[in-house]
Structure formats: C-alpha cells, structure tokens
Amino acid sequence: MADIGLAGPFFRHFALDPVPLEILRQTAPAVLEWVARLWNTTQGDLKGDWPVMLPNDLKPLLRDMGSGYLPYLSANAEAVRDGRKRFDIQVDGVEYKKARYSRYRVWCLEQLRKRWLGLPAQGQETTKALLEAQGCWGPMWQREARPLLPDQEAGLPFRATSKMIDVY
C-alpha cells in the first residue's frame, strides 16, 4: 500500500511529463519499471487483508485535504463552470490570486464523487462520517455543477484530446 501511495505522484509528475520521463528512462529505469508495475496492478494482484479501519495517522492528511485541496477543487470547478480562466481562493489563511483553472482538476473532483457514489450503502455511511469528521465532506460536495467538456472523460486522465489548462 505504501508503494501505491508513492507511485501516484511519481506517475503523475515524472512518468507523464516528457522531460522527467526521459530523465527516468536514462538514469533510473528501475524506478520507471516500478511505476509501470504499480500502474498495472489490479486488486486481484494484492495479497493480505485490507485494513478494516483507516489508520489514525492518516486523519491529519484528510484534514489537510478538507481545508485546502477540496476547497481548491471546488473553486476551480466553479471557475470553469462560470467561464472564468482565473480564480481567487484562500487556503489555510493564504490568499491565492488569479489561480489558473484546470479541467483536469474538475475531473479529479468528479472522480472523488463517483468513487463515493459507487460504495455500498454501509460504505457510504461510514465514509461520509469519516469525511465529515475530518472536514472533507462539505468541500467535496459544495458545488453541484461539474463542468466537464463533452467526452472529456473518455481519455482522462492520461490521454486528453483537449488542453486541460489553457495557456494564454
């Protein structure tokens, strides 16, 4: 599980960007192979028991997500919905001015919501209570409109047919 937690940032920030990808190919091919193995891992490949409860040491991470990341995703989705290319947001007392919108982050918020909706009723109840206790529930659902482009999800997150961030 630790490998999976580390592989996400490696995949997104190093294995997808052409320059870091080439650096990985030339200087750390074993790391690139590790990322590829993890990306192709299915739940059936995993051994052992899944934890029944979320470890307490992960709750501060959820609180950080609830106070920063999820409000950012919601503000970004609102900007995209309203046709604004920039938006302002305050996160943990820091004011961010003219943040550039990202359609990819609209997709990220939609994926979080879909995952929760896909849980069985008991899982939804338990997860909602956990997310509420850590300040994540409200920001995750504060905006209803999810302004995805037609067929935007078809190739996401890794084969976008349209630019995910406008550059102007």
* Alpha helix ranges (H) inside the chain: 2-10, 18-27, 29-39, 59-64, 70-82, 103-117, 121-133, 137-141
Distance in angstroms (rounded) separating the CA atoms of residues 109 and 81: 13
What does the pLDDT look like over 97-142, one tens digit per residue? 999 988 878 888 888 998 899 999 999 999 999 999 999 999 998 8
pLDDT value at 4 more than 80: no
Mean residue pLDDT of the chain comes to 80
- Residue 86 pLDDT: 93
What does the pLDDT look like over 137-160, one tens digit per residue? 999 988 665 666 555 555 544 444
Q: Is 66 exposed, middle or buried (0-12, 13-18, 19+ CB in 10 A)?
A: buried
- Residue 147 pLDDT: 63
Query: In a 3-state reduction of DSSP, which class is residue 97?
Result: strand
Q: Where are the domains of the chain?
A: 2-45, 56-155
Distance in angstroms (rounded) separating the CA atoms of residues 163 and 135: 32
Contact status, residue 69 vs residue 85, Cβ threshold 8 Å = no
- Residue 118 pLDDT: 92
Structure pTM? 0.67
What does the pLDDT look like over 14-27, one tens digit per residue? 777 777 788 888 99
- Identity of the residue numbered 43: Q
